[in-house]
Amino acid sequence: MELAEARKKRKVVAVSGAFFGLLLVLTLFSNTLQAITLPKVRTETPVKGKLVHSIEANGTLKPVEEAELKNETGWKVKAVHVKAGDAVVKDQPLITYDSKPADRQIADEQTALKQQKLQLEGLFESFVEANRTGDSTVIGKAKRDIESRQLDIDVRERKIQALQEDLAAQRQIVAPFDGIVTSVRATEGLPSTPGQSVVRVSNASRGYGMSVPVAADLAALLSVGEKIEVEVKDQTVQVMEGRIEEITDTQMEMAGGVGEKQDAPPVMKTIRIAVQGEGLKGGERAAVRLLKSVSADEQLVISNEAIHKDREGKFVYVIEERKGPLGNGFYVRKSYIRTADANTNQTAVREGILPIDQVIVETSEPLQAGNRVRLQ
């Protein structure tokens, strides 16, 4: 009897153990299955530091001062003394023209002047003869003829002087200052087109520069007079000192009428940078790369992907760990933040998160505060 009772108790204990074991297994399996179906999230921890803005721009170096020299006569080119890239000094001949047409015109005018002077001598002789006769009418006419001829001679002499000055100025094109020849558009034996630039000379003493477009929010971090490093790429790469000369609105930004509503590109500024360096000739490719920080204080920096916005402002989702009888669970907490600054990838946060927070930056499903999630 006692043996049967003991067996019965052992069976009850065994069945109870099996039941509770199965219940535990089912519970664990249920939790595991539930965990697998939870939204999966990727998190990051805020980093304490300064938010850095990267400013990158590329351009071509051009002379700060460049003279376009022209010849308005249409004369044929007699000789070309320079080529692009040559260094020249002030008043050095660059191009000589065939001035025969002007020479002939001056010679004709000088011949006509001699004829007028001979005629004037004849008028003086007539005046002397009139004085001998004593006829006042003849004397008066002789005086007027002399004065008229003298005026004609004065006009012709001024004309010859002007032609000679023009000839001296147009016979040659000379360098207006010490510099570098950047282009030559003249061929010996062919006439130059009036009004067209035939030679360009850059002023070597004024240096070179470039104008580059920069987003307005980044341009606000720069100032006129600020010195920057410029990477100049020619046959070799050189780092030269540059200086910001001017910050202006771009032409695109200024275009468009009042009241026009259009999808405008981001507001841009044009930065003009002057560069001083040995061996520059113009045409070199140049690059500017700057790292600028708005705040001198360190702040918590997070990825832009972590930030959301609603009617109340900007917020992030933060992981909150809660303890349970079968292990810890991870839940979503909504935290509103105050931002200090942002660049294209990161945002500096002034309030709303702690250095130890796990901030959600990526999720497999849309989230709400209080959702349970699983970490990636």
pLDDT tens figures, 204-233: 788 889 999 998 888 888 999 999 999 998
Give the per-residue pLDDT at 27: 53
Q: Write down the pTM of the prediction.
A: 0.58
Residue labelled with tokens 């832009």? 304
- Neighbouring C-beta atoms of residue 184, cutoff 10 Å: 21
* Domain covering 56-64+207-254+264-293 in this structure, CATH number: 2.40.30.170
Give the per-residue pLDDT at 3: 60
State phi, psi for 210 to the nearest 5 degrees.
-150, 155
Domain 100-170 has CATH 2.60.120: no
* Residue range 80-115, pLDDT digits in tens: 999 988 889 999 999 999 888 888 888 998 998 899
Q: Is the pLDDT of residue 372 over 50?
A: yes
Give the per-residue pLDDT at 325: 64
Right CATH for 38-52+297-375 from 3.20.20.70, 2.40.420.20, 3.40.718.10, 2.30.110.20 = 2.40.420.20
Q: Are 273 and 221 in contact (CB under 8 A)?
A: no
Q: Are 37 and 257 in contact (CB under 8 A)?
A: no
**Mean pLDDT, residues 308-322:** 94
Domain ranges of the chain: 38-52+297-375, 56-64+207-254+264-293, 76-97+171-206, 100-170
Q: Is 83 helix (H, G, I), strand (E, B) or coil?
A: coil
Q: What is the torsion angle, in degrees rounded to the nearest 10, for the CA atoms of residue 359, residue 361, residue 363 and residue 365?
A: 90
Q: Are 38 and 329 in contact (CB under 8 A)?
A: no
Per-residue confidence band for 33, with pLDDT thresholds at 50, 70 and 90: very low
What percent of the chain clears pLDDT 90, i.e. is strictly above it? 36
Establish whether domains 38-52+297-375 and 56-64+207-254+264-293 are of one fold.
Answer: no
> What CATH fold (topology level) applies to the domain 76-97+171-206?
OB fold (Dihydrolipoamide Acetyltransferase, E2P) (2.40.50)
Give the per-residue pLDDT at 259: 43
Which CA distances in Å does 45 have to 102, 138, 301, 317, 354?
A: 84, 117, 9, 12, 9
CA–centroid distance for 265 within its chain: 16
**H or E segment at 156?**
helix 136-170
Q: Are 69 and 88 in contact (CB under 8 A)?
A: no
Angle at alpha carbon of residue 111, lines to 108 and 117, rounded to 5°: 145
Tokens representing 301?
């920096």
